[in-house]
Amino acid sequence: MGEPYNPNEIESRWKDFWRERGFFKADIQDTEHKFYYLNMFPYPSAKPHVGHGRNYILGDAITRYLLMRGYNVLNPMGWDAFGLPAENQAIHHGIHPRDWTVRNIAEFKRQFRDWGVVFDWDREIATCEPEYYKWTQWIFLKLYENGLAYRAEAEVNYCPICDTVLANEQAVGGRCERCNTPVEKKTLTQWFFKITAYAEELLRDLEALDWPEHVKTMQRNWIGRSEGANVAFRSEQGDEIVVFTTRPDTLWGATFMVLAPEHPLVEKLTAPDKRAEVEEYKKFAARQTEVERLSAEKEKTGVFIGAYAVNPVNGERIPIWIADYVLMTYGTGAIMAVPAHDARDFEFALKFGIPVVPVIAPPGGTAKSYVMKGTYREGLPGALREAGFEFADEDGSLYVTLREGDRARYIALVQSYLEPDSWSEVIGAGWQFVFSDSVMNVGSIAEERKVLERCQALEPDVREVHTVAELLWNVEFYRDLLFHDRYGTMINSGPLTGTPGDVAVERTIEWLEERGIGKFAVNYRLRDWLISRQRYWGAPIPIVYCDECGTVPVPEKDLPVLLPEVERIGLKGLSEIPEFVNTTCPQCGGPAKRETDTMDTFVDSSWYYLRYISPHDDRRPFDSDLVNKWLPVDLYVGGVEHAILHLLYSRFITKALRDLGYLDFGEPFARLFTQGMITYPAYWCPEHRWIPPQEVAEGRGCPHCGRELEVSVVAMSKSKLNVVSPDELIGKYGADTERLYTLFMGPPEKEIEWSEEGLRGAWRFLNRFWELLTAWIPRVKDGSGEFDPAALSEAAKRLWAKFNETVHRVTREFESKRFGFNVAIAAIMEFTNALEEYLGREEPDLGLLRRVIRDLILLISPFTPFISEELWLRLGEGGAVLEQGWPTYDEEALKLLAVEIPVQINGKVRARVRLPHDTAGDIEALREAVLAAEEVQRYLRGKELVKVIAVPGKLVSLVVK
RNA sequence: GCCGGGGUGGCGGAAUUGGCAGACGCGCUGGACUCAGGAUCCAGUGGGGCUUAGACCCCGUGUGGGUUCGAAUCCCACCCCCGGCACCA
């Protein structure tokens, strides 16, 4: 029997050991075997919970492994310490944000220590310290000097609760990323970083990054590159109106034009009698929140401004509208509308009675024709049938479906049967109206008008209808053919009619360029990064406004622009602190005012990975020589929630600093791993809000009012009260148990629910592990760990083989992309089970036993460092675990064993044959041995053997008849 | 709607990438220990079948088809789930 496992006693012995011994201190000058491992630094809010633990425990395990593999590992930690929660504490509770932050940082550090998670603390940084934000400001100045930071008036997202503007990236779905409040639009003068200058490169360089595919996809979508053409339309008055389109092949189908309500030409072009209406619409559009504007079910709105534009390809006069579905911030803020081939334009045209002209043949080549009862003479159905047309006859109304190739033949036939004052239509590649005396095509706005006129003249019911499209829309049968946005042969398109769909866009662009009407163009969805925040707790933007000199950057020597120390922080940030605002101009020395906005905290975090290399250098932000050797970061680990924000900004800053000559690489993070969140049930009572899970009893409702609770399993968060604190758990089971369970729960990239039962599984295992090893260590303590594998008993050979397999499986997970430590730990558990079984079966070979115990301790040590260090000490090998090399795997060990070869007969496993390793590994020997085996012969009696497939070392498959 | 990732026991998930499906753990069932246990230990645990209860047979990795001696894994079609984006012209 071994000793009882007492984790608290063991862990208290080792908590400071690794740090004190300096194992986690990187040698920054030695870049030969460097490995830069980085966890995203946290925002130190309140106390960490077991969900935080996942990130750092994973990183700690990887770091310990790398150290044992002999790498010079840099794994630093710091604090993303500026931000709104701290400031809100200050405003509401009068605590200085720095004090609040410092307190939380201490709490995090204590937790890391309890977890056994160690960092190179000499490199600790906090973005809120002047020594750090001085250099954040320095980066701002460099960008400003090089035209990458600018101030502009723009329509911005504003969050009324956070009382500040937000970057595009932080207004998720029209709501504030932090507090979920619907964002308002405001026109303000703000500071921007010109990230769009790098749009193409940010997109292109994704290709080579070893990042999860979904993160790359998200960035690609966010950058949103589209190719097309800019085409110059003109107003009737002669103003050029350039539109961007990805479908220049549909140009001949433009039947109207839409400008964004804020478009500068609106003012000029609006007809006097439309002015009032247009003004009102502009106000309506401005008033809406982003959420309202984006809401999917929203009907199209817009107004005609009383002006017309001329389509440069065919000279057609088309009305100009304004509508909020056209955004000033994308493309040119103006579009040509082709309702036949754009879903939004189609909806708009149908609603406002604007003509639709088809200009692209739908691929597939099917057309439809509806021949209403009473419009044709007797005999048409028979004639159609005879001519081989497919149709349905419902009460005398005919619904014909035909191939485009039969169109002419069909038209001739129908026409010969039409009553004089009637018509029918053929809808497919173009719309044709068949009258008894003529056939009319809807190939232009003019033709559309004529067709409609003629129909209205013939049929009083049609007089209510505004367009041919509306007329056709009323026939359910046609609906699926009236609009499509696929590529197809161009029709009704003047000189380009007949151009096939696969080259239509390209040919049209060539055609436009030859005539100087338009040219190839690329547009991006990405907008410039708005970095101004009207808050106190951030890095001040180092700019001064002087009446004489204008906008003046603070000289580098005057950095940092310090945050003023004030009694109490108010709602209006720096702008309400006169001592800060009023200053002198660095250029002329006259009175001037400081910029009062601080920078978005994502600016702070967009370069911190550079600072870790020389965190205390007070002469420069980073040491370029060393940074160029240590970066890119070899492995960056963090939550997927930063997939676009932080990761895109960091990439941009890196590229900008490279172009300014400070770096010689363009991507900060060579490899990225995103770990999933830990979830836990959260309970909601409509009256008492969030209820902590510990207070919720099975089957009973709210502990306060008994009302039924709404349960959702979501990421742990303090605000939902569904956090599990590590303290209690470590007191009960120890940190090793928490670590082991956290890594064993499931693949780390996936979200997973925390379970106390699961945790106890890890606890049980460590107890068994401890008891087993402490029981046997005294027997092998003074042994050598040497043995002759060939001389082992059969059971011992099996154990030795299993051991080597285990080393292989555990190592593989560290070396793989996925860090599947759930599998690695499972392998260790399996081996422990096998070891226990072996020890219960026979008197062990002590050399073998010492060897496997020794390596088993090392193998589990990245996951459970405390128990490992303690067992290592008792084994008496000397030194510390982290000074040992990682166990190696011996291929030969597996060859000692007999192999069990499954035998498939007609695809089913019918027998297993035990064979020596050599026999099983040789194709001919394997084949013969299996066919000779009694348990196989049994199945072959009276059957004909058709085929034998022998896979050496794997299996044998027989086909019999 | 578009893009990305997935569907394997009651649950989390394994399966060395085309070769014994369900490792390991949780849960569950039975038993032991116990005044008691939600602690611990032992055994069983995909579903079904059985005049031979076994070293047995059949079914089984979302659905339907295909390739192959052999498919969770490859191909085609479909269904469903998760994540992201979404009036971006």
H/E segment holding residue A446: helix A445-458
* Closest by Cα among A215, A123, A162, A182 to A600: A162
Predicted confidence (pLDDT) at residue A177 exceeds the cutoff of 80: no
Long-range contact pairs involving A92-96 (C-beta distance under 8 Å, separation at least 24): A94/A568, A96/A569
Task: Please state, in angstroms and rounded to a whole number, the distance separating the CA atoms of residues A742 and A755.
Answer: 10
Q: Helix or strand or coil: residue A691?
A: strand
Give the pLDDT score at A682.
Answer: 87
Give the pLDDT score at A698.
Answer: 64
Asked if strand B comes closer than 7 Å to A121 Cβ, the answer is: no
* Closest by Cα among A446, A443, A423 to A433: A423
Give the pLDDT score at A949.
Answer: 86
Inter-residue contact A354 to A317 (CB < 8 Å): no
Question: pTM value?
Answer: 0.92
* Closest by Cα among A569, A560, A563 to A581: A563
Strand partners, A571: none
Query: Which residue did the predictor score with more confidence, A711 or A853?
Result: A853
Strands A591-594 and A543-546: antiparallel
Predicted confidence (pLDDT) at residue A927 exceeds the cutoff of 90: no
Provide CB contacts within 8 A for A794, sequence distance 6+: none
The mean-pLDDT minimum among A63-72, A133-142, A154-163, A884-893 falls in A154-163
Q: Average pLDDT of A853-875?
A: 96
User: How far, in Å, are A683, A702, A708 from residue A693 at the CA level?
Assistant: 7, 10, 14
* Residue located via tokens 């960490």: A48
Torsion A922-A926-A928-A929 (CA) sign: positive
Asked if strand B comes closer than 7 Å to A860 Cβ, the answer is: no
Residues 763-792/A with CB < 7 A to strand B: 763-765, 767-768
Strand partners, A402: A367
Query: Which residue did the predictor score with more confidence, A585 or A955?
Result: A585
Long-range contact pairs involving A276-280 (C-beta distance under 8 Å, separation at least 24): A277/A303, A278/A303, A278/A305, A278/A322
The pLDDT tens digits for A105-148 are 999 999 999 999 999 999 999 999 999 999 999 999 999 999 99
Q: Where would I find the H helices in A116-161?
A: 130-145
Confidence of residue A288 (pLDDT cuts 50, 70, 90): confident
The integer distance in angstroms from the CA atom of A372 to the C1' atom of B29 is: 72
Residues 912-951/A with CB < 7 A to strand B: 912, 947, 949, 951
Q: Average pLDDT of A320-329?
A: 92
Predicted confidence (pLDDT) at residue A296 exceeds the cutoff of 60: no
Q: Average pLDDT of A666-671?
A: 94
Asked if strand B comes closer than 7 Å to A507 Cβ, the answer is: no
Asked if strand B comes closer than 7 Å to A826 Cβ, the answer is: yes
The pLDDT tens digits for A472-484 are 999 989 988 999 9
- Nucleotide with the nearest C1' to A169 CA: B85
Task: Please state, in angstroms and rounded to a whole number, the distance separating the CA atoms of residues A908 and A945.
Answer: 15
- Average model confidence (pLDDT) for chain A? 90
Give the pLDDT score at A172.
Answer: 67
Q: Where would I find the H helices in A15-93?
A: 17-20, 50-68, 84-93
Instruction: Give the start-end residues of each E strand in A311-386.
Output: 317-322, 334-337, 366-371
Q: What angle, rounded to 10 degrees, do the helices at A407-417 and A380-387 form?
A: 160
The pLDDT tens digits for A413-441 are 999 999 988 999 999 999 999 998 999 99
Predicted confidence (pLDDT) at residue A651 exceeds the cutoff of 80: yes
Which positions on chain B have an atom < 7 Å from some protein CB?
3-5, 12-15, 19-21, 23-27, 39-41, 57-58, 69-71, 83-89
* Number of neighbours of residue A22 by Cβ within 10 angstroms: 9
* Percent of chain A scoring above 70 in pLDDT: 98
- Nucleotide with the nearest C1' to A218 CA: B84
* Residue located via tokens 């604190």: A725
Determine the protein residue whose CA lies at the shortest distance from the C1' of B2: A221
* Percent of chain A scoring above 90 in pLDDT: 69
Task: Please state, in angstroms and rounded to a whole number, the distance separating the CA atoms of residues A453 and A466.
Answer: 10
Asked if strand B comes closer than 7 Å to A616 Cβ, the answer is: no
Asked if strand B comes closer than 7 Å to A829 Cβ, the answer is: yes
Predicted confidence (pLDDT) at residue A46 exceeds the cutoff of 90: no
Give the pLDDT score at A745.
Answer: 93
- Residue A725 is encoded by which pair of tokens? 């604190």
Predicted confidence (pLDDT) at residue A450 exceeds the cutoff of 60: yes
The integer distance in angstroms from the CA atom of A535 to the C1' atom of B74 is: 57
Predicted confidence (pLDDT) at residue A926 exceeds the cutoff of 90: no
- How far from chain centre, in Å, is Cα A158? 24
Asked if strand B comes closer than 7 Å to A832 Cβ, the answer is: no
Give the pLDDT score at A622.
Answer: 97
Asked if strand B comes closer than 7 Å to A670 Cβ, the answer is: no
Asked if strand B comes closer than 7 Å to A245 Cβ, the answer is: yes
Confidence of residue A518 (pLDDT cuts 50, 70, 90): very high
Confidence of residue A291 (pLDDT cuts 50, 70, 90): low
The integer distance in angstroms from the CA atom of A288 to the C1' atom of B87 is: 15
Q: What angle do CA A720, A722, A728 make, to 5 degrees?
A: 140
* Closest by Cα among A550, A532, A552, A549 to A541: A532
H/E segment holding residue A306: strand A303-310
- Nucleotide with the nearest C1' to A329 CA: B88
Give the pLDDT score at A159.
Answer: 79
Determine the protein residue whose CA lies at the shortest distance from the C1' of B57: A910
Query: What torsion do the CA atoms of A861, A863, A866, A867 make, to the nearest 10 degrees?
Result: -70
The pLDDT tens digits for A894-923 are 777 777 788 888 877 787 788 888 888 888
Provide CB contacts within 8 A for A730, sequence distance 6+: A11, A114, A115, A738
Task: Please state, in angstroms and rounded to a whole number, the distance separating the CA atoms of residues A903 and A911.
Answer: 5
Confidence of residue A292 (pLDDT cuts 50, 70, 90): low
- Nucleotide with the nearest C1' to A213 CA: B4
Compute φ and ψ for A527, nearest 5 degrees. Answer: -110, 165
- Residue A508 is encoded by which pair of tokens? 């049209």
- Nucleotide with the nearest C1' to A336 CA: B89
Asked if strand B comes closer than 7 Å to A78 Cβ, the answer is: no
- Nucleotide with the nearest C1' to A812 CA: B16
Q: Average pLDDT of A599-625?
A: 96
Inter-residue contact A410 to A402 (CB < 8 Å): yes
Confidence of residue A294 (pLDDT cuts 50, 70, 90): low
Strand partners, A86: none
Torsion A821-A823-A825-A831 (CA) sign: negative
The pLDDT tens digits for A304-314 are 999 999 999 99
Confidence of residue A465 (pLDDT cuts 50, 70, 90): very high
* Number of neighbours of residue A249 by Cβ within 10 angstroms: 28
The mean-pLDDT minimum among A49-53, A180-184, A241-245, A254-258 falls in A180-184
Strand partners, A34: A72
Confidence of residue A285 (pLDDT cuts 50, 70, 90): confident
The integer distance in angstroms from the CA atom of A748 to the C1' atom of B19 is: 29
**A935, amino acid identity:** E
Give the pLDDT score at A173.
Answer: 66
Determine the protein residue whose CA lies at the shortest distance from the C1' of B3: A217
Asked if strand B comes closer than 7 Å to A300 Cβ, the answer is: yes
Asked if strand B comes closer than 7 Å to A704 Cβ, the answer is: no
Inter-residue contact A465 to A458 (CB < 8 Å): no
Q: Helix or strand or coil: residue A593?
A: strand
The integer distance in angstroms from the CA atom of A755 to the C1' atom of B27 is: 11
Task: Please state, in angstroms and rounded to a whole number, the distance separating the CA atoms of residues A128 and A83.
Answer: 9
